[in-house]
Amino acid sequence: MHMDRQAKMRDYHVHFTGSLPRKYIFTKLLEYKRKNELPLDMRGIKTYSQFLDKLDNYFSGDYLYNKSRFFEIYKLFQQITKPTNSTEFPTVYSEGCFEICKNFVNNGISNFDIIAGPCSTIDLTYSRLKNMIEGINRAESLFNKTVNARIRLTFIRNSSGIIKNYSISLLNDIFYLLKEPYFSKRIIGFDISGEEKPLKNYFDENCSIIENIEELNRKTGTHFEIGIHAGENIDNSPDDKKYFLLFRKLLSLNITRICHGTFLWLNIDKEKEFLLKSFAEKKVIFDICPTANLLLTPLKSHSQIPISFFKEIALPYTFNRDNPSIFGNLIIP
């Protein structure tokens, strides 16, 4: 476990939607008006215990099957928590962050990063972030102590390969917004996440976004972290080798974190070893999510995570929960 300077457990990788407490999700499900449109059949689910049984028996031993199931349930959680109009933004995002903070602190963790996407416009992004921070501040008041919750903004690629919440103009506006101390206190960086097909045009576009963030960091004198979800979506197929293209390219960029990176550290060969050592030299942090990796990748056992090798090459790493509402992993392995 990588520890922060305060020697307290920190969860660096929790997604906003997938980290809302299950009771909160269940309440939203009961309130949802268009249940027949949900991507998951929830007919007959009327009690919280039935809902828990549904979630706890959701995944199988087949990681390829689990991938489709994961995105199905994530889509469901997004649908039932997403505001249907602008007047619902304050309640949904403030209350959502408040519930995440309350749930985490009650489970012994007050240090964590929430990963959340900007909206399609700067006005909607402002509303989302302002209300998320208000929810965090409210949790601080409730517990009468610091809730060290930080926000990382993620640009998300969907299954069609489109990144709907990104444009250069929006990124510029976000950097302007982050000049305000109210936002810069809580928002500490950016991520590129979502669909990870090993196609060169996807890699090139992702790297272009990173380069744009780097350029704005230089222009504004800021030091916002830059992370990328990479190498998780692997199938042990010949096409996976194309991930080497991305990781070689990432070495030339000033990234801070690699979320998952499973492709590189699972079944290490000479080329993977070279790349891992190169990232170690650059002090790039690998955010590993053991439960998610066990369910959604070819990883068969937590013992396959090469911790001793990471220590040997001084590669910084963290253990994280990713989407605790979905995986039910309240305690980090």
Compute CA distances 164 → 117, 154, 201, whole Å.
10, 11, 16
Compute CA distances 222 → 88, 235, 261, whole Å.
32, 38, 26
pLDDT number for residue 46: 87
Report yes or no: 158 and 119 within 8 Å, Cβ to Cβ: no
pLDDT number for residue 231: 93
- Residue 114 makes CB contacts below 8 A (sequence gap 6+) with 14, 15, 16, 19, 97, 100, 132, 149, 150, 151, 152
Report yes or no: 226 and 190 within 8 Å, Cβ to Cβ: yes
The predicted-structure confidence for 73-122, as pLDDT tens digits, reads as follows: 999 999 999 888 878 888 899 999 999 999 999 888 899 999 999 999 99
Q: How far is CA 194 from the centre of its chain?
A: 9
Report yes or no: 102 and 142 within 8 Å, Cβ to Cβ: yes
Q: Which of 264, 270, 275 is nearest to 306 (CA)?
A: 264
Say how far apart CA 165 and CA 249 lie, in whole Å.
23
Instruction: Tell me the angle at which helices 122-143 and 168-177 cross, rounded to the nearest 10 degrees.
Output: 40
pTM of the model: 0.92
Report yes or no: 275 and 230 within 8 Å, Cβ to Cβ: no
Say how far apart CA 27 and CA 130 lie, in whole Å.
24
Beta bridge partners of 111: 10, 148
Given the DSSP bridges, would you call strands 317-319 and 285-288 parallel, antiparallel or unpaired? parallel
pLDDT number for residue 331: 62
Report yes or no: 183 and 151 within 8 Å, Cβ to Cβ: no
pLDDT number for residue 53: 92
pLDDT number for residue 332: 59
> Which runs of consecutive H residues, i.e. helices, occur in 42-113?
48-56, 63-81, 89-106
Provide the CB-side half-sphere exposure for 90 (13 A, CA).
2
Say how far apart CA 14 and CA 109 lie, in whole Å.
12
- Residue 310 makes CB contacts below 8 A (sequence gap 6+) with 265, 286, 317
pLDDT number for residue 33: 83
- Residue 229 makes CB contacts below 8 A (sequence gap 6+) with 191, 192, 193, 194, 196, 259, 260
Name the 3-class secondary structure at 207. helix
pLDDT number for residue 330: 67
Count of beta carbons in the 10 Å neighbourhood of residue 123: 11
- Residue 38 makes CB contacts below 8 A (sequence gap 6+) with 32, 76, 79, 80
Q: How far is CA 95 from the centre of its chain?
A: 19
pLDDT number for residue 1: 41
Q: What angle do CA 80, 116, 321 make, to 5 degrees?
A: 90
Give the number of residues written for the chain.
333
pLDDT number for residue 237: 85
Residue type for position 333: P
pLDDT number for residue 108: 86
Residue type for position 140: E
Q: Which residues of the chain have pLDDT under 50?
A: 1-7
